Amino acid sequence: MRIAFMGTPDFAVDCLHALADSEHEVVGVFCQPDKPVGRKQELTPPDVKVEALKHGFKIFQPESLRNGKGVEILKEINPELVVVVAYGKILPHDFLVYPKYGCVNIHASILPKYRGASPIHFAVLNGDKITGVTAQQMDDGLDTGDILHVGTTEIGENDTTEYMYEVLAPLGAKVLMKTIEMIENNELKPIKQDESKASKVGLLTKEMSLIDWSRPASEIHNKIRGLYSWPGTVTKFNGKNLKIHKSILSDVKGKNNPGEVIDSNGRLIVSCGDNSCIELLEIQLEGKKRMDSVSFLNGYKIEKGTVLGN
């Protein structure tokens, strides 16, 4: 099958690599334009472009697909199917309906849950035990098209968003290849999404980072792992930002003040809401290196009774 691929970040690379290794013909790769990165603002290609260059694929980086510009490219490369994985822009109607088999999106949630920009983060943030990848036939809405195929996986109690990206990217590639196989064999049985179960998630912001110690430990733990590694989670210690990279739930119970350190003898346990506690494993004081809590306590004296967040 003649396939055009659309994607930009690292998450999409596994799908492109799977297509490159298949018997299908990748007739073109769309990705976002190169962007300035870092302090020196060096122009840097997106991960999908880097992968596409390895295989010698024709690359397109249009600023816009509207006003027929996208269809002009499709006419040039003539794909039967367009595969979309985290491309980063809304596709216009004329583009969606041009290929013989339309456009299939690989979305990192079990639709209709978590439509939108940050599905992996919110699955972890909300403490979900199961997540997955959905292949959906794209329509004019945001992740609202018919469900074609779904792959699922578990989220462990301490799994971070970063880890789940590593799990879901190859799962997405498997879901994609199975979906294409079903298209070729005329085996698809599209399922309409249940709008009553739909939820939408937006982009993450740095304002989400601050920890509210009055919340239950489970909720705080989910926030720490859900926002890892960006934007991360922070609290205050002696007037400075203390970034928290890793935590686990503690069996310790106590009616202490929210944010109060109740154990700093070789481990760092903090009181949360609902008489629950959390143990901080890896932290980083503003302007300092990241370190495990044992090393941190050796260098920075934190008295029992210290209240974080002040």
Q: The CATH number of the domain where 64 resides is what?
A: 3.40.50.170
DSSP secondary structure letters along 108-160: SSSTTTTEES-HHHHHHHTT-SEEEEEEEE--SSSS-SPEEEEEEEE--TT--
pTM for the whole structure: 0.95
Residues 46 and 139 in one domain: yes
Residues 118 and 259 in one domain: no
Q: Which of 183, 201, 219 is the last residue of a domain?
A: 201
The C-alpha atoms of residue 212 and residue 235 are separated, in whole angstroms, by 8
Indicate the DSSP class of residue 288. Answer: S
Q: How many domains does the chain have?
A: 2
Give me the half-sphere count of Cα atoms (radius 13 Å) on the Cβ side of residue 300: 19
* pLDDT tens digits for range 58-79: 999 999 999 999 999 999 999 9
Domain membership of residue 222 as a residue range? 206-299
Residue 229: is the preceding peptide bond cis (ω within 30°)? yes
The C-alpha atoms of residue 13 and residue 209 are separated, in whole angstroms, by 28
Residues 238 and 291 in one domain: yes
Q: Are 115 and 143 in contact (CB under 8 A)?
A: yes
Q: Which of 201, 230, 265 is the last residue of a domain?
A: 201
Residues 234 and 212 in one domain: yes
Residues 160 and 232 in one domain: no
* pLDDT tens digits for range 139-195: 999 999 999 999 999 999 999 999 999 999 999 999 999 999 999 999 999 999 999
* pLDDT tens digits for range 30-69: 999 999 988 889 999 999 999 999 999 999 999 999 999 9
Residues 48 and 96 in one domain: yes
> Of the given ranges (2-6, 73-77, 258-262, 301-305), which has the lowest mean pLDDT?
301-305
The C-alpha atoms of residue 163 and residue 143 are separated, in whole angstroms, by 23
